[in-house]
Structures are given as structure tokens and as C-alpha cells.
A and B are shown apart, each in its own frame.
Chain A
Amino acid sequence: MRRPRLLYVPFWVTYVFLYTPIVVLVAMSFNAGKSPYVFAGFSLKWYGELAGNATIREGLVNTLVVAAGSTVLSTVLGTLLAVGLARHTRSRVLDALGVLPAVLPDLVLGIGLLVFYAAVKMTLGLHSVLLAHAVFGMAFVTAVVRTRLTHADTSLEEASRDLGATPLATFFRVTLPQLAPGVAAGALLAFTLSVDEFVIAFFTAAPTTPTLPIVIYSMVRFGVTPEINALATLLLAVSFTVVIVAQRMTRLTESLS
């Protein structure tokens, strides 16, 4: 197929647009000067400041606790729900309900849960964020596992049932082992989304238990400091590594199957 020359202009504009802010941010994180805008020589001092920042450290711990807990919860619930939706019902309403949290605006889910927690007089804290994150995490796990289920070979499950196994035995011995890669992918997705999630956490966290995105938000709102550059660079490094490793892994599993 022909590649019109003219198309290269918007193509490169897109990539320059996407990466310029990131490159500037990373460069500025190694800035020796105090200004977050003017580069005045190489230094790692902002990384040192960052390591000593207790607020950020607490935010990071809170985020990891919430992400780990909500991932476990959403993986268990989402996997069961995916199997239930694919094998035990034909209801399209339930199908739609399963993906609703993923398409609902985060703002609406956030205020909904704020209203709900207030009505049942639940105190806010890490648990309230964890329970909230499990709502959308579950939707993504369900979606990923369901996709895998529709491609899975049902004859093994039928054989297991015909030989007299109960639904639960069939699930644990036949269905789940087949689903394992999908469950792992769903869990990874739920974890990543939870770590990055700001809006819902903003409404459901207590002021004493901010997650890392909430800490970043208040820092950015307060003003620009080079410490955020260093933190941003570290976060970029982590997510770039995860994406590239995940990419490699999917390519590996593709070439194996």
C-alpha cells in the first residue's frame, strides 16, 4: 500500500506532542538548580529530597495497600462473575451490569460511593478506597476473563460434567487452569488501574489516608517543585518497564501457542 508523504507530518506531530512533556520532565528531574524550569547542571539531589519525604512515602504505602487488596477482591469476584456470565446465564442485562463500572464516569462512581458511605455511616479510610477500587477492578477482570472464556474449549468442561463432577469441582479442576493467563492479565490490569486511580480515591479516602495520586494532586495544586519531577520520573520508569515487560510476555506466549 502507498504511504502518502503528507501523512508523515501529523504522524510525527503526534509523537512529538506525546513525548515532549515527558522528556522535559525527566530532564528537569536531574536539575541541580532550584527552579523547575531552568536547567542548571546535573544533580541527583531531588531524588534525595524525595527519599526523605515522609508524606510521599506514606502515600506510596497507602496506594500499594489499596491496590493489593482491591486486586485480590476484584480478581476473585471478577473471575467467578465471568464464568457465571459465560456459562450460567444468557441474560444480557447482567452482562451489561458487569461492564457498567468500566464505562461509568469515575466522577459519578466516586460521588455515588461518597453518598453511600455517608448513608451507612461508614468511616472513610483505606478500606473505603479499597472497596471502591474493587468495583471497577472487577469490571476489567470480568471483561478480560470473559474474552478468554469465549475462546476456551468447552468440551473439557462438558466431559467433566458428564463424568459427574459438581460445578465447583469442574471450575477448580478444569475451567480455572485454562483461564489462568486471563486471570493473571486481569489482575495486573486491576492493580495498575488502582495504583493510578485518582478521582474515586479523592472522594472516598479520608484526609489522613491519602493515596499517592492524591498526594501528587495536592503537591501540584500547591505549586511546582522539582521534587515532583523526580517522583514523576520514577513513576514513568516503573510504568514503562511494566508495559514493556507485559508486551514481551504477550509476544512470548503468542509465539509459544
Chain B
Amino acid sequence: MTSSTVSGAAAGSRSHRSRVIGRLAFLGPGLTYLIVFLLIPLGMVLSYTLFRRGRFGGVVYEATGENFTRLLEPLYLDVVVGSLKLAGLATLVALLVGYPTAYLIAQLPRKWKTIALVAIVLPFWTNFLVRIYAWIVLLSGPGLVNSTLVKLGLVDKPLELLYNEGTIVTGLVYSYLPLMVLPLYAAIEKLDPQLREASANLGARPARTFVSVTLPLTLPGIVTGCLFVFVPSFGNFVIPELLGGGRSIMVGNLIRDQFLNARDWPFGATLSLALLAVLIVLLLLQAWSSRRA
């Protein structure tokens, strides 16, 4: 907009008008859409936390705090804490498997690096439900894992591998591992090899170099990767339902049930708010850690 300051007042007002038109034309449609289909729905969910449930779903506009007191009942609090644990465990496993994998990919020759990365992402681009289904086939009583174990004589009869918390964690790790490996790879790839060489030349052992040089420098990648795995895991309801057999439900299942089965929308909204609150705290932690790095 430098032209408007040098030319006269008439040209200035014309450029001001075209600037307003430009803003309206470009920002208007998208922002309107986001207001109608994102902000208003979110606002409605948030406001529902303060109202009583309607008899057949929906709400009755009578203010109440009972949704929040109900959230603190052990029955529901346990589910929230349990979800935190399962999502946290999945994130930890993904990090422990993903870090060495990303580290090694970063050291591969260029051609192999591309192939290794595509191979990491490829399963992620296949239908999510199909990938979960594959684990049911694999882990079920007569499935490959059990039949192999029996054939090898390691067990007498098929193990109950499906429908427990371990299966849920396996499903979560399987679904979101690529989201861990990619940011880790990006962080490790950026590392200046000279820093590690300097550390080695100064007499540090590889383990010491890793702890004092590599790990702190890749911390932003670790935080991002953990967030990418934790966020979709924590709010998940499909994996715990299909692989958990309904016995150990997570907060996502609870929310789904409040909206579709129990028809208690205000309480479902309150659970969603709790879910969002946890995620917002984590995002703030990430912003804080990346500013420090």
C-alpha cells in the first residue's frame, strides 16, 4: 500500500475502499462459514454445560451447576483419569519406539530415507477403521498371533489378547505412531552433526552426548510428537469400543453415549469441556516449552 501514501487524497480514498472490498471479498465467505459452522456450534456446546437435560435429548433452559458436580463423581472422574492413563501410556510407547526409528531414518542415505519415510506414512493414509479391524483379525482367539503361539508350543490354548486395556494401547500406538515419528524425524534431521562430533571430541561417551546434546536439542520435536499422539488418543471412542470390548471405556465413549444413548446433552457437553480443558492445558505447555527452547 505504498502507492496510497504518495498519491493524493482522492487516490488514497479509492485505495482505502478497494482495501475494504478486498477484505470483505477474501475474508468474508470463509470467516462467515467458520462462525456459523464452528464458533456457534462450539458456543452452544459450551452453553449447554450450564443447563438441564431435556427429556428426549436437547436442553431445558434452566440454569444449573449439577453437570459439573456430576463430573466430579468418582464414576466419571475415574473414566477421565483412566483415559489420561491410557492415552499417556500410548504416547510413551510411541515415543520409545518412534525415537530410535526416527533417529535411524535421519541417518539413512537420501534414497532410503525417502522410502523409509513414505513407508511410515503409508499406513496412516489407509482407512482408520480398516487398520483397527486388522488388529481384531490378528489378535482374536483363532487369529495369527494365537495360532503361532500355540504352534510354537509357547501356550497351551489361545490367549485372551483382545478386549483389554493393552489392546486399546496397541490400537492407539498403531494408529498414531506416524504422527510421532514425523516431528521427531524433522527435529533430528535438523541437528547439526558437528555438535555431536564436538561433544565426542571433548571426550563425552555416546550416551552422554545423547543425553546432554541430542535429547535437549530435539525436545521440541519430542513435545510435538507426544502432543500429536496424545490428543487424538485421549478423545478417541472408536478404538476403545472396537478393541476394548466396552469394558474399559474412555472419556470419548462416555461423551458419545451421552449424546446418542443417554440423551443427556448437557452432561455430554460438560464432558467435552473437560476434554477440551485438558487439551488446552497441554497446548499451552507446548507453546511454553517451544518458547523456552
Residues on B with beta carbons closer than 8 Å to the beta carbon of A217:
129, 238
Of the residues B19, B48, B129, B259, contact of A213 by C-beta under 8 Å: B129
A84 touching B98 in the complex, CB below 8 Å, given contacts A167-B21, A220-B133: no
Nearest Cβ on chain A to B110's Cβ, whole angstroms? 12
Nearest Cβ on chain A to B152's Cβ, whole angstroms? 16
Cβ of A21 < 8 Å from any Cβ of B?
yes
Residues on A with beta carbons closer than 8 Å to the beta carbon of B108:
3
B134 adjacent to A21 (CB under 8 Å): yes
A131 adjacent to B37 (CB under 8 Å): yes
* Separation of A235 and B33 alpha carbons in the complex (Å): 32
A18 adjacent to B120 (CB under 8 Å): yes
B125 adjacent to A239 (CB under 8 Å): yes
The B87-141 residues at the A interface (CB cut-off 8 A) are: 96-98, 100-101, 103-105, 107-108, 114, 118-123, 125-138, 140
The winner among A103, A115, A232 for most chain B CB atoms within 10 A is A115
B238 adjacent to A198 (CB under 8 Å): yes
B252 adjacent to A107 (CB under 8 Å): yes
A21 adjacent to B42 (CB under 8 Å): no
Residues on B with beta carbons closer than 8 Å to the beta carbon of A101:
34, 38
Of the residues B97, B237, B259, contact of A17 by C-beta under 8 Å: B97
B127 adjacent to A196 (CB under 8 Å): yes
Of the residues A37, A108, A228, contact of B133 by C-beta under 8 Å: A228
Q: Which residue of A lies closest to B119 (CB)?
A: A15
User: Which of A5-13, A41-49, A50-58, A179-187 sits within the interface?
Assistant: A5-13
Of the residues B3, B22, B114, B121, contact of A243 by C-beta under 8 Å: B121
The B39-55 residues at the A interface (CB cut-off 8 A) are: 39-42, 44-45, 48
Of the residues A24, A94, A113, A232, contact of B144 by C-beta under 8 Å: A24
Count of interface residues, chain A, beta-carbon cutoff 8 Å: 91
B33 adjacent to A138 (CB under 8 Å): yes
A14 touching B232 in the complex, CB below 8 Å, given contacts A88-B26, A229-B137: no
A224 touching B275 in the complex, CB below 8 Å, given contacts A11-B104, A115-B41: no
Nearest Cβ on chain A to B70's Cβ, whole angstroms? 17
B123 adjacent to A19 (CB under 8 Å): yes
Cβ of A69 < 8 Å from any Cβ of B?
no
A residues near B, CB below 8 A?
1-4, 7-11, 13-15, 17-22, 24-25, 28, 35-38, 76-78, 80-81, 83-85, 87-89, 94, 97-98, 100-101, 103-109, 111-116, 118-119, 131-132, 134-135, 138, 142, 161-162, 166-168, 171, 192, 196, 198-199, 203, 213, 216-217, 220-221, 224, 228-229, 231-232, 235-236, 239-240, 242-244, 247
